């Protein structure tokens, strides 16, 4: 992997996205993928892992070191659950867009809870083993990332612009699929239309809110221009952090 030492890792802009296969890349446009998304705290690094029952599945990443951009591929071979975490292991290969510095090696992605925060994180380790023009053979690079759930706007609202999965950006065709109730009274009314009649009530710590299957068109505005989220039960909940929050995807 053609990267500088750990002391300069903060300067790296690193992005990783996971695809099932080359063919699956085309399917993403019509069939939104579920994925766990992680970023560094300074948001220069993004990692997306799509859990899949089949092995292997593949991934892709890119990183910019100063003015040089490096792209690579990931091949996840095994996945194993251990108490409190999940480990993916596989291989990677990368090279610069200039065609120089081709490196290969092993990659490990450890998904785990961060302290007592309740947030999930991913520790990603690249071990460089070789490559015809690689200058980093024998080096190891480690990045710690935190889960990147959708964040509300200044009003506390979730909407088309801030609630997509990372794989759907910037097209916004895939809204985050699962949410939980955060209402102060532990109940959330789901209405037949924005500000309409109550159709059902979701309970905190009991019900999980899943968005409508057509995740591209799940937000509607009330007459007062407040966003509402369409659930898979055909009713709408107010899309504000006072009432709902996104749930981690496995």
Q: Which residue would you say has higher pLDDT here, 118 or 225?
A: 225
Strand partners, 140: 127
| Cβ 230 vs Cβ 159: under 8 Å | no
Q: Looking at the predicted structure, is the pLDDT value of residue 31 above 50?
A: no
At residue 52's C-alpha, the angle toward residues 48 and 55, to 5°, is 110
Reported as a single tens digit per residue, the pLDDT across 128-169 is 999 988 989 999 999 888 888 888 999 999 998 888 765 555
CA–CA dist 58, 33 (Å, integer): 14
| Cβ 3 vs Cβ 9: under 8 Å | yes
Reported as a single tens digit per residue, the pLDDT across 60-71 is 777 777 777 777
CA–CA dist 55, 77 (Å, integer): 6
Strand partners, 64: 13, 69
What are the angstrom distances between the C-alpha of 217 and each of 38, 153, 177, 221, 232?
Answer: 25, 19, 12, 12, 12
User: Residue 237 is encoded by which pair of tokens?
Assistant: 């909940």
H or E segment to which residue 69 belongs: strand 68-82
Q: Which residue has the tokens 């916004």?
A: 172
Question: What pLDDT score does 117 carry?
Answer: 64
What average pLDDT does the segment 171-191 reach?
A: 87
Strand partners, 38: 47, 147
Q: Is 59 helix (H, G, I), strand (E, B) or coil?
A: strand
Question: What pLDDT score does 173 carry?
Answer: 58
pLDDT band at residue 16 under the 50/70/90 scheme: very low
Q: Which residue would you say has higher pLDDT here, 214 or 245?
A: 245
Whether cis (ω within 30° of 0) applies to the bond prior to 170 is yes
Question: What pLDDT score does 242 carry?
Answer: 97
Query: Listing from the earlier edge strand, what are the strands of the sheet with 244-246?
Result: 208-210, 178-181, 244-246
User: Residue 42 is encoded by which pair of tokens?
Assistant: 């300074």
């Amino acid at each position: 992997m053609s990267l500088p030492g750990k002391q300069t890792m903060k300067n790296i802009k690193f992005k990783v996205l996971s695809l099932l296969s080359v063919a699956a890349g085309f399917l993403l446009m019509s069939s939104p993928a579920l994925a766990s998304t992680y970023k560094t705290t300074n948001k220069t690094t993004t990692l997306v892992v799509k859990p899949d029952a089949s092995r292997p599945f593949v991934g892709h990443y890119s990183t910019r070191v100063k003015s040089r951009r490096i792209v690579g591929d990931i091949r996840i071979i095994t996945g194993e659950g251990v108490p409190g975490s999940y480990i993916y292991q596989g291989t990677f290969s990368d090279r610069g867009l200039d065609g120089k510095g081709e490196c290969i090696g092993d990659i490990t992605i450890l998904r785990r809870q961060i302290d007592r925060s309740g947030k999930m994180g991913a520790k990603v380790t690249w071990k460089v083993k070789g490559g015809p023009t690689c200058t980093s053979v024998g080096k190891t690079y480690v990045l710690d990332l935190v889960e990147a759930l959708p964040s509300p706007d200044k009003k506390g609202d979730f909407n088309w612009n801030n609630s997509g999965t990372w794989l759907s950006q910037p097209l916004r065709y895939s809204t985050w699929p699962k949410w939980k109730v955060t209402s102060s009274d532990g109940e959330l009314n789901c209405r037949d239309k924005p500000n309409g009649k109550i159709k059902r009530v979701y309970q905190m710590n009991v019900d999980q809110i899943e968005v409508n299957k057509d995740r591209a068109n799940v937000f509607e505005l009330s007459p007062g221009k407040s966003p509402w989220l369409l659930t898979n039960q055909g009713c709408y909940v107010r899309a504000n952090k006072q009432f709902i929050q996104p749930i981690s995807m496995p």
